Amino acid sequence: MIQILSLLMSVSLVSFIEYILPPILYIIVFPGLIVVLLMLFFMIWLERKVAAKTQLRFGPLYVSKRFGGVIQTVADLIRFSFQEFIIPAGADVFAYIQAPGLLMAFGLLPLIFIPVGPYYANIFPANYSLLIVVPLIIITPIYVILLGWASDNKFSFVGSMREAFLVISYEIPLILSILSMILLYGSVNAINGVSFQIGRGIPGIVLNPIAAFLFLVVMIRTTGRFPFEISEAESEVVMGPYTEYSALFFGIGMSLPYIELYSFSLLFSVLFLGGWWPIVPSAAAASGVVGGLLLPGLVVFIKALIVMAFLVFLRAVYPRYRIDQAITVGWDQAVYLGFAAVALSMALVWSGLV
Amino acid sequence: MSAPQDRTATANLTYDELAGLKADRELVLLIGPAHPGSGHMKIKVWMDGDIIQRVDPDIGFVHRTTEKLSENRLYIKAIPIVERVMLPDTINANLAYVIALERLLGIEPTPRAQYLRTLTSEINRITSHLYGIGLYGIFLGSSTVYMWAFADREPLIDLIEEISGARITYSYIIPGGVRWDLPAGFKERAETVLQYMEARLKDYGKIWVRNPVVMDRTEGVGVVSKSDAIRLGITGPNLRASGVDYDTRRAKPYAAYPNLDFEVPTFSEGDCYARLLQRVEEIEQSIRIIRQVLKDIPDGRIISDDIYSKMNPLQKRMYEMKHRVMFPAYMASMRPAAGRSTASVEAGRGEIFFYLVSNGDKVPFRFRWVTPSFLNLPFFTHVMVGQHLADLPAIYGSSDYFPPEADR
Amino acid sequence: MGGGADGVAYFGNLETVSKKAVSFLKKQGYVKSMINWGDKFSLWPVHLMTSCCGTEFAAASGPRFDLERLGFLPFGGPRQTNLIVIEGTTTLKMARSVRIVWEQMPAPKWVIAMGACAMDGGIFYDSYNTVPAKDIVPIDIFLAGCPPRPEALARAVVMLQESIVKNRPPAADIQVTAAPATPGPKDVVEAVSK
Amino acid sequence: MTAASRVITGITFTTDEAKGIFEVEASDGAHLLDLATRLKAAGFDHCLSVTAEDLGDRLAVLWHISSYTNRELSGMNAQIRLVVSKSDNVEVPTLTGIWESANFLERETYEMFGVVFKGHPDMRRLLLPDDFTGKWPMRKDFPLKKTPWRVQK
């Protein structure tokens, strides 16, 4: 508080707006809440539409016929918002109500620490961004387990247990994959990683394809895409942890995987797809909001959209794995791949090739 | 896990007592009937961790008492009833009942009617197998296969609709023959559909049958050995996937099958993947049979002389004009001589068994039928034990169990 | 802690507050029409196959008929859905499940009785094990046919959508009387003699 | 009716091939078990149907059997028939020990006809609800009338 007051006294109003605006822009508008919401609507619609096209049919259409039913998710959201909210008799009420909110909060938190432009360093402490993002990404499943525990439903419980097992088995591959990129870029600052890629002119996916592949697999697993849609497997455990949730809380629960998908995809495009390349802002432009945040951010966002579209398309191709098979992959092949990725990075760094 | 009372109840127990509590490890799941992976039945599953210890299928949710109803209705009125029980597979239910009835009546259908029966039965077998493959897709989480299978059922349903005039419930086969002749140009249209089906089977191979995830999920899961299959009385494609070379079309010949050249595919593995391949192979064989039937179909009447002579002049004229059998009044007042008969027919899911008893009345004295899904019930009690919970839908889907058919 | 008994969460009486807020919102005309629009294009039927019309229901969500065009998405759990399609006969065993699932669903909820059996028994009218669907749950749309073609189901869904837009409330709950659930010969004789 | 007879491993079947009837009659429970054992040894390896017929004052219990492996026998739907006097709970020996596939079929016959199969591992209702109060719906004295039914919530 004192800091802000002293700041107010020391700087003029214009420079104060310049100081306060970018963080608000970053959190509220882009890549924050508003874009997340729009992305959510678009992605859920795209998933249904892409699957429908693969399956020789139309998918959502009549809700807005001219635009291919693109506002279908809005209709679903309105319906969910005004439906009766049921708390099951056996549920632990406090946990039952707070879990979806916390889930949403922790799902959105990693977005703050993923830089989408060079200007980002001016707003937030970016020096340790990767170190902060990884635990934040891993923390959300704890609240998924809380959902299942609070619901007092056997299918929720089984689904939560599945989620717990899977999270544990895919943590090491995720950390190894990011570690190999940290080794390669020589920094835990993601902005430095992007500068590294732009400077060498080679994206991370070419430098270390093993780590990229591994990250992709962990991304599919964590966001519950096919073939790893195991904790919500409909024909086995109904809706998994979300079985008892109705109305808006179910909407929150179901949108969480897409938010996770969004933060993972942003991270993927920053780490492996060259970030805001080909837009390379000059030093002067990089200190401005438009040149340093919005334009590079748009590029990252488009790259992330392509990654997300690829991942939602997997639904149309693959059935789901059994849980023990998925766990075996996580503890066995994925860990070895992770070590291979680290070894590759070390070899590249030591040999001085990059 | 659940309510606070439970925790206080176990709070006074010692560690040993807690460790000895089987409830710690054991979980009883009630799956169904409003569960996405259950169909019209309740499956009670006792689990130790993730491993299924015991399964008790609670069926009868669609028990519509067809035997009792048929024993109180005219003979001809049992045809719609048996059809509605086996909705993906109506022609075969219809055929099995009519064969049993014809044996009671002592009527022999004409050769052309026999070929038409075979034709519709095989088209229906393909739609039934596609239905099974599609639902298997849902059980394993692939909605694409479900949609594709239901899309590819439609041209075949159109074909049979063209012959019989109905979409699902045809009531096409009547004692002495069939009700409609082939429409003009049917053979060419059927050939188009068959070629389309063959092309689609290759697509299924790409996305479903040789999909690595499907193979991981199904190979070595739910294995039924040859001796077990015989001991448990499993029937149909599931039996043949376990290596038993038995097909009712061969063993108890009916319709035009003795004149046709076809193979009975078998697999020796007996796992879910073999049962999936078995259905795909049987679709190929059915396509082969349909081609032969369309090539070899003899000319002549589609209704036997016994029934034709009982038609009135208007009906006879209608038959000559449109090659269509209007129901003769005789059908409504059939009184077979006292006696008994049995009939077996190979339906899409296995052998339908009929046992009819007449005491000379206008309604059957005893109407007994056993459907293939009912005979496949041991899949729940025997095959699922020792598998993972996630294998339950995999085995269920591979057995192509259809609850309304089992409950009758 | 206990759930439904007092319904008190830690920040005031959540249930009353939310109910008041929702009822206030629902009284506003434009909000009401927006809710109706949302309900219209978001009819999710619960996965409850009561009988053999389920095959035609499945075909209706298949590619040729594709009811997802209307926002009609078959879904697994009852808590997230708002529509029951009773597909054909309901037997004594299934009737209880239908009632339980109907009560599990959040309001507002609708019911389509599909097929002749769900209307008055169809060809199984005098069976000893069936119950007419109208005696179990309140029904909004009756759909004739045995089984109805998928187009007919599409028509029923469109009719339901129209009635939602016209602001008709879902059918009121029926009184489920505690008559003998499974009459044996004695009950039948008594019923007939009356 | 052209009834003939056919002999398989010393057991004489009453046969009507045109109607697909191959019947052997058991005189009592012990004879039934003996017959079943011999038929199993002859190659009849599975049970197609278990049912009963209401003959007024008696019940005829029927086991339909066939063969998957023996080519000669697989064309037959053979039936074993045991006639017992009718009462509320008729008792006959179970054949699940010989043909395991008779398990569910015998349970169905129990709930439909009131035939209790002695020695059956799991003699419970199968298709009807547990609280179904009517007795033995498939017997002829169970009337079939439309009644105004309600379901209890």
Q: Where are the domains of chain C?
A: 8-40, 43-173+181-193
Q: Please tell me which residue, B12 or B339, carries the higher pLDDT value.
A: B339
With an 8 Å Cβ cutoff, are B252 and D75 in contact? yes
- pLDDT value of residue C2: 38
> What crossing angle do the helices spanning B111-140 and B90-105 adopt, rounded to 10°?
140
Q: Please tell me which residue, A341 or C11, carries the higher pLDDT value.
A: A341
Lowest mean pLDDT among A99-108, A214-223, D3-12: D3-12
Q: Which residue from A215, A209, A94 is spatially nearest to A150, judged by alpha carbons?
A: A94
Tell me the shortest Cα–Cα distance from D151 to chain C, in angstroms: 5
With an 8 Å Cβ cutoff, are B60 and D62 in contact? no
d(CA B201, CA B206): 9
Interface test with chain B among D101, D107, D125, by most B beta carbons within 10 Å: D101
CA angle C14, C18, C22 (to 5 degrees): 170
Q: Which residues pair with C143 in a beta bridge?
A: C114
- At residue B122 the predicted structure's pLDDT band, cuts being 50, 70 and 90, is very high
Indicate the CATH number for domain B74-359: 1.10.645.10
Kindly state whether C123 is in contact with chain D, defined as any CB-CB distance less than 8 angstroms. Answer: no
- Three-state secondary-structure class, residue B336: coil
d(CA C110, CA C85): 9
What's the whole-number mean pLDDT along residues A183-207?
87
- pLDDT value of residue C129: 80
- pLDDT value of residue A102: 87
Question: In what order do the strands lie in the sheet containing D46-54?
Answer: D4-8, D11-16, D21-26, D78-85, D58-66, D46-54
Q: Which residue from A90, A86, A234 is spatially nearest to C79, judged by alpha carbons?
A: A86
A173 Cβ neighbours under 8 A, 6+ residues apart: A214, A217, A218, A330, A334, A335, A337, A338
Kindly state whether C131 is in contact with chain D, defined as any CB-CB distance less than 8 angstroms. Answer: yes
- pLDDT higher than threshold 90 for residue A343: yes
What's the whole-number mean pLDDT along residues C171-179?
66
CA angle C168, C172, C175 (to 5 degrees): 165
Alpha-carbon separation of residue B181 from A344, B92, B94, B173, B320 (angstroms): 72, 18, 17, 11, 11
- Three-state secondary-structure class, residue B352: strand
Residue pair C70/C161 in contact (Cβ under 8 Å)? The answer is: yes
CA angle A79, A82, A86 (to 5 degrees): 105
- At residue B121 the predicted structure's pLDDT band, cuts being 50, 70 and 90, is very high
- pLDDT value of residue B353: 92
| List of chain D residues whose C-beta atoms are within 8 Å of the C-beta of residue B239 | 68
Question: In what order do the strands lie in the sheet containing B339-347?
Answer: B339-347, B350-358, B366-370
Give the amino acid at A202: I
> What crossing angle do the helices spanning B272-296 and B111-140 adopt, rounded to 10°?
150
Residue of C nearest to D127 (CA): C93
- The dihedrals phi and psi of A165, each to the nearest 5 degrees, come to -60, -45
- pLDDT value of residue B18: 47
- pLDDT higher than threshold 90 for residue A160: no
A-B Cβ pairs (cutoff 8 Å, strict)? 90
What's the whole-number mean pLDDT along residues D26-38?
87
With an 8 Å Cβ cutoff, are B2 and A55 in contact? no
- pLDDT higher than threshold 60 for residue A241: yes
CA contacts within 13 A on the Cβ side of A258: 23
Q: Mind giving me the DSSP string for D29-48?
A: HHHHHHHHHHHHHHT--EEE
- pLDDT higher than threshold 50 for residue C78: yes
Interface test with chain B among D126, D135, D139, D151, by most B beta carbons within 10 Å: D126
- pLDDT higher than threshold 50 for residue D150: no
d(CA D46, CA B377): 14
| List of chain C residues whose C-beta atoms are within 8 Å of the C-beta of residue D139 | none
Interface test with chain D among C50, C99, C129, by most D beta carbons within 10 Å: C129
pLDDT tens, position by position, C103-121: 888 888 899 998 888 887 7
Q: Which tokens belong to D48?
A: 């197609």
d(CA B142, CA B44): 25
The partner residue sitting opposite D151, judged by closest CB among C176, C187, C191, is C176
- pLDDT value of residue B19: 44
C43-173+181-193: what fold?
Rossmann fold (3.40.50)
Q: Where are the beta strands (DSSP E) in B207-359?
A: 339-347, 350-358
- Against chain A, the chains showing at least 3 CB pairs within 8 Å are B, C
Q: Which residue from D50, D66, D58 is spatially nearest to D110, judged by alpha carbons?
A: D50
Alpha helices in chain A (DSSP H): 2-10, 13-24, 33-54, 72-81, 93-108, 120-123, 129-151, 154-185, 190-200, 204-207, 209-222, 234-237, 247-271, 283-286, 289, 295-313, 323-331, 333-351
Quote the ipTM score: 0.85
The partner residue sitting opposite D19, judged by closest CB among B103, B231, B378, is B103
What's the whole-number mean pLDDT along residues B218-244?
89
With an 8 Å Cβ cutoff, are C185 and D132 in contact? no
- pLDDT higher than threshold 50 for residue C178: no
Q: Which residues pair with B26 in a beta bridge?
A: B48
Q: Which residue from B242, B220, B234, B230 is spatially nearest to B381, judged by alpha carbons?
A: B234
HEC secondary structure over chain C: CCCCCCCCCCCCCHHHHHHHHHHHHHHCHHHHHHHHHHHHCCCCEECCCCCCCHHHHHHHCCCCCCHHHHCCCCECCHHHCCEEEEECCEEHHHHHHHHHHHHHCCCCCEEEEECHHHHHCHHHCCCCCEECHHHCCCCCEEECCCCCCHHHHHHHHHHHHHHHHCCCCCCCCCCCCCCCCCCCHHHHHHHHHC
- pLDDT higher than threshold 80 for residue C3: no
d(CA C93, CA D144): 19
The sign one gets for the Cα dihedral A79, A82, A86, A91 is positive
- pLDDT higher than threshold 70 for residue C12: no
With an 8 Å Cβ cutoff, are C128 and B147 in contact? no
Q: Which residue from B233, B277, B31, B287 is spatially nearest to B136, judged by alpha carbons?
A: B277
Residue pair C40/A84 in contact (Cβ under 8 Å)? The answer is: no
- pLDDT higher than threshold 50 for residue A193: yes
- At residue B33 the predicted structure's pLDDT band, cuts being 50, 70 and 90, is confident
d(CA B109, CA B113): 6
Alpha-carbon separation of residue C28 from C24, C32, C33, C34, C168 (angstroms): 7, 6, 9, 10, 16
Secondary element (H or E) of residue B37: none
d(CA B232, CA B378): 6
- Three-state secondary-structure class, residue A327: helix
Lowest mean pLDDT among A296-300, C174-178, D8-12: C174-178
With an 8 Å Cβ cutoff, are C52 and B65 in contact? no
- pLDDT value of residue D145: 58
- pLDDT higher than threshold 80 for residue A40: yes
- The dihedrals phi and psi of B115, each to the nearest 5 degrees, come to -70, -40
3+ Cβ–Cβ pairs closer than 8 Å linking D and A: no
d(CA A205, CA A133): 20
- pLDDT value of residue D2: 53
- Against chain D, the chains showing at least 3 CB pairs within 8 Å are B, C
Lowest mean pLDDT among A244-248, B211-215, D7-11, D126-130: D7-11
Mean pLDDT score of chain C, rounded to an integer? 78
pLDDT tens, position by position, A44-98: 899 888 888 888 888 888 888 888 888 888 888 888 888 888 888 878 888 888 8
Tell me the shortest Cα–Cα distance from B220 to chain C, in angstroms: 28
What's the whole-number mean pLDDT along residues B29-40?
81
Interface test with chain B among D17, D77, D80, D122, by most B beta carbons within 10 Å: D77
- pLDDT higher than threshold 80 for residue B13: no
D41-77 b/e (C-beta count within 10 Å ≥ 16 → b):
ebbbbbbbbbbbbbeeeebbbbbbbbbbbeeebbbbb
Domain residue ranges of chain B, discontinuous segments joined by +: 74-359
Q: Which tokens belong to C158?
A: 């469109």
- At residue D3 the predicted structure's pLDDT band, cuts being 50, 70 and 90, is low
- pLDDT value of residue A176: 92
Lowest mean pLDDT among A14-18, A125-129, A272-276: A14-18
Kindly state whether B368 is in contact with chain D, defined as any CB-CB distance less than 8 angstroms. Answer: yes
Indicate the CATH number for domain D4-118: 3.30.460.80
- At residue D97 the predicted structure's pLDDT band, cuts being 50, 70 and 90, is confident
